[in-house]
Amino acid sequence: MAGRNTTRRKTSPASPPDRWDLTHLVKDPVRQLDRYLSELDSQVTRIEAARPGLAPAMPTQEFESILKLSESIARGSSRLGAYAYLWFSENTTDSAARSFKTHVEERLTALHNRLLFFELWWQGVDDANASRLMAAAGDLRYHLETIRRYKPYTLSEPEEKIINVKNVTGRSAVNTLYDVVTNGFSFTITEGGKKKTLNREGLMTYVRSPKAAVRQAAYRELYRVFSAQRDLLGEMYKTLVNDWKSENLGLRHFASPIATRNIGNDVPDRAVDVLLSVCAKNADIFQQYFRLKARICGIKPMSRYHLYAPHRTESRKFAYADAVTMVLDAYRGFSPRLADLAQQVFTERHIDAPTRPGKIGGAYCYSVVPGLTPYVLLNFTGDARDIATMAHELGHAVHGMMAAHHSAFTFHSTLPLAETASVFGERILSDALMRQESNKNVRQGLLLGQLDDLYATVLRQAYFVRFENTAHRMIAEGATGDQLAQTYLAELRQQFGKAVTVPDEFRWEWLTIPHIFASPFYCYAYSFGNLLVLALYRKYQAEGAAFVPKYLDLLATGGSEPPADILSRVGVDMNAESFWQSGFDTIREMVGQLEATLS
């Protein structure tokens, strides 16, 4: 079976493994699947047997017993589900991996459906008894509060079961199809007079080429291939949006499409509205930045083709071993504890770094259960950006590891806070590199790299969500894919103003963004996380070593408390426009520093 190696061995950062070791999740899952499912089934049966005794006045010991069984089921399900997804990620064209993933999803959904009655019962418990039972629940309290938060949007047990079954053959199947189709695309580009056939990860290295014509050719090839499938991909997107609307607005009666995500994140609608509004108000900061970049890089006129044009100091490629060393050294300079945790990902072979045909694009970290070192997927090609991506994903990993003392239900933080450690990891790396450099040109290049990243992870992500808000409304009114594309292009041109020209083919960019398909409105978490980190990093620069324990405590909280409570302890009010603006003030200062290098 692809991606499995039962031989345990230590690896140093200097020798990247060809594959991660998935045997730490489950042993021989294909042949032993029925046994694993049988064990989960028996635990589910025990909870079902307790159903007649469920009552608001039930003893706390009986309630705690059910919770412990629920957590055990969650751990077993998570390991099995993670294996299925990680194996699929290694090669999305592997039919055995796809079949296994689908089969596991169907079986786990069936088991979960049998437990729905407990959550529905818990939502109906009166406040007094709920408080009594939660008082003895310890680390699971916030998990229990979260279940009750969904009470206004929950349907009957039979309806919830139908939706869960439907999602496996509906949303999940369409998302898998999107991954299979788009990761199967091949692209052709001419370099040195020779044609090369590449996957998307390989193609995207050329958008950072020192040659303007190559950057332009790479983007044109990307959108040539995607736009050729615009009818198929557009129908997938409209299907997913209509499904989101039918379930969340039509059946559950959320106030808006994005409100569904906000409730899941435990973030007030107002906070998200303020965040997106402040992002749009500050688009001029990045417009000013791209004018400066055009001067520095000698680009006339500045076009969306050239947004990620490299500084003259960025042309080198990095060996994987050197990249690992740079990231771990940067982490160690901030906190030896975080560096040791990050090192564990490599030592235990929980990282899959090389790019290859069929492998899922991008990068992610999968924190499966508390106490198990998270798995990290990269597509490392040797670019400087890949080093920042490594620092980012390892940030996710150490976040999950710092929170390993929590339950399976509470060690994951909500999405906006989940980006804190990852983005902070990038800032640690950038700051370490800046401290090591005295050369004015190199420092200028580092500033360009940091501001490129901030654009990509703050403003760009916020505008994805602005587009989604509009697209969900348009699709509900019967919009076509071409109309969505024109709306997307108008948003891009408003975002860049007169500073950057946006060619027509960029109207198809939305087809290339997996999050828009798989996780509607997810992307504001990046804007949230980056602006939050800018504020936290400013505190670190002011307080020095005294800040580190506070930051580690924030990570160690995981998802065991409401985000508002976690942030209040570090002086953050997510509803305040001034907080989000302070992040952009820091970005404006960085743009000023860049401008000063021109004098």
Alpha-carbon dihedral angle through residues 400, 464, 475, 157, given to the nearest 10 degrees: 10
Q: Look at residue 225 and tell me whether its pLDDT is greater than 50.
A: yes
Q: Look at residue 11 and tell me whether its pLDDT is greater than 60.
A: no
User: What are residue 351's phi and psi, to 5 degrees?
Assistant: -135, 140
Q: pTM of the entire structure?
A: 0.84
pLDDT digit string, tens, across residues 278-313:
999 999 999 999 999 999 999 999 999 999 999 887
pLDDT digit string, tens, across residues 145-187:
999 999 999 999 999 999 999 998 899 999 999 999 999 999 9
CA 450 to chain centre: 19
Binned at pLDDT 50, 70 and 90, residue 539 comes out as confident
pLDDT digit string, tens, across residues 138-150:
999 999 999 999 9
Q: Look at residue 125 and tell me whether its pLDDT is greater than 50.
A: yes
Average pLDDT score, the chain: 92
Q: Look at residue 193 and tell me whether its pLDDT is greater than 90.
A: no
pLDDT digit string, tens, across residues 62-115:
999 999 999 999 999 999 999 999 999 999 999 999 999 999 999 999 999 999
CB 591, CB 451: distance < 8 Å: yes
Eight-state DSSP code of residue 188: E
Q: Look at residue 314 and tell me whether its pLDDT is greater than 80.
A: no
Complete domains list, the chain, with CATH = 22-169 (1.20.140.70)
DSSP, residue by residue, 498-551:
TTSB--GGGGGGGGG-HHHHHSTTTTHHHHHHHHHHHHHHHHHHHHGGGHHHHH
Distance, CA of 420 to CA of 422 (rounded, Å):
6
Distance, CA of 463 to CA of 287 (rounded, Å):
14
pLDDT digit string, tens, across residues 373-406:
999 999 998 888 899 999 999 999 999 999 999 9
Q: Look at residue 264 and tell me whether its pLDDT is greater than 80.
A: yes
Q: Look at residue 5 and tell me whether its pLDDT is greater than 70.
A: no
